[in-house]
Structure 1
Amino acid sequence: MRQQLLALLTRGPAHGYELKQGLEQLLGSAYPQPNVGQVYVTLGRLEKSGLIKGEDVEQSGRPNKRTYELTDAGRDAVSAWFEETADEPRVRDEFFMKLALAPLSGLADPVTLINKQRRQHLNTMRTLSKLAATEDRGNKIAQLLIEGAMLHLQADLDWLERCQEELE
């Protein structure tokens, strides 16, 4: 969440709740909603590390509000993040470990595990399809997120089919 908050702060100063809402509006309902407590904890850490600076703003009849803005170091950090590529091969896949270890343990049948995982993926795809139909069509970012998730699930379903062919 560190980099996402820094990226949102490139637009200008904001307080934690505004940043949370910004993520929610940008990514839509398919993306797990950020916990406001996690947002504030992360902002505190970013401030301690010198990537942002906070300022208390007085409000009449209400507690002070703390707004945050990027420092030069924060701007450099988010620029460096945008330059990095995302290389995340799923070699350490939790399901695959279960599949590989099931025959050794004698506690689970690999084909049963595959079928259970397949059902889970199909249920998730149905949920995402419903979200895609109800999500604001003007929110192209949310639509792309849903489409990407569905393509990953389809690839996982194809891979499960391959695993079952090899294990039967």
Structure 2
Amino acid sequence: MRPQLLALLARAPAYGYELKQGLEQTFGPAYPQPNIGQIYVTLGRLEKGGLIRGQEVAQDGRPDKKVYEITEEGIQELAEWFAAPTEGPRVRDEFFMKLVLAPGTELADQLTLINNQRRHCLTMMRGLNRLAAEEQGNRVSQLLIEGAVLHLQADLDWLERCQEELT
């Protein structure tokens, strides 16, 4: 969540709740939303690391709130994050480890594992399709959902290949 908060603060200074709202409005419900406690813990770490600075702002009749802004060090870290490629395919896939290690244990059958994983992928896909129908107006959320659905479809194709090869 560090780079996401830094990116929002690179746009404009904000306090924690505004950052939470910014994430929700930008990504919609398809993106796992952190709770406000996670946001403030992360802001504390970013501030301690010198990537942001906070300033108390007085409010009439209410507790002060802390407004955060990104520092030069934060801008540098964010620029490095944008420039770095994102990790590619998972070679250490936990499901594949189960599939390969199950034979001989008498605890799991490969075909059962594949079928359970297939059902799980299809359930997730149905949930994402429902979410997509609800998020018609949010293009960012639609792209996020579409990417997740395409990954699930690739996983289903791969499960079919595993079934052909291993069972």
**Category of TM-score, reference length = shorter chain:** over 0.9
Partner of 1:91: 91
The offset of 1:89, in angstroms, is 2.2
SS of residue in 1 equivalent to 2:137: coil
Describe the superposition over 1:72-92 as per-residue Cα deviations: whole angstroms up to 9, x where unpaired: 110111111100110232111
**Which is worse superposed, 137-146 or 47-56?**
137-146
The offset of 1:8, in angstroms, is 0.6
Q: Distance in 2 between matches of 1:22 and 1:52?
A: 17
Partner of 2:146: 147
Describe the superposition over 1:117-167 as per-residue Cα deviations: whole angstroms up to 9, x where unpaired: 0001001100100110111x3311100000000000000000000000112
Partner of 2:158: 159
Q: Which runs of 4+ in 1 moved over 4 A?
A: none
Describe the superposition over 1:10-42 as per-residue Cα deviations: whole angstroms up to 9, x where unpaired: 111100111011111111111111111111000
Q: Distance in 2 between matches of 1:145 and 1:18?
A: 22
The offset of 1:60, in angstroms, is 1.1
Q: Distance in 1 between matches of 2:43 and 2:55?
A: 12
User: How many positions carry a matched residue from both structures?
Assistant: 167
Q: Distance in 1 between matches of 2:166 and 2:111?
A: 8
Partner of 2:20: 20
2:160 is matched by which residue type in structure 1?
Answer: E
SS of residue in 2 equivalent to 1:14: coil
For structure 2, the 5+ residue unaligned runs are none
Q: Distance in 2 between matches of 1:49 and 1:157?
A: 42
SS of residue in 1 equivalent to 2:102: helix
Q: Distance in 2 between matches of 1:153 and 1:46?
A: 34
Q: Distance in 2 between matches of 1:98 and 1:58?
A: 55
CA root-mean-square deviation = 0.9
Q: Distance in 2 between matches of 1:91 and 1:107?
A: 24
For structure 1, the 5+ residue unaligned runs are none
TM-score with structure 1 setting the length: 0.97
Q: Distance in 2 between matches of 1:41 and 1:122?
A: 35
Partner of 2:76: 76
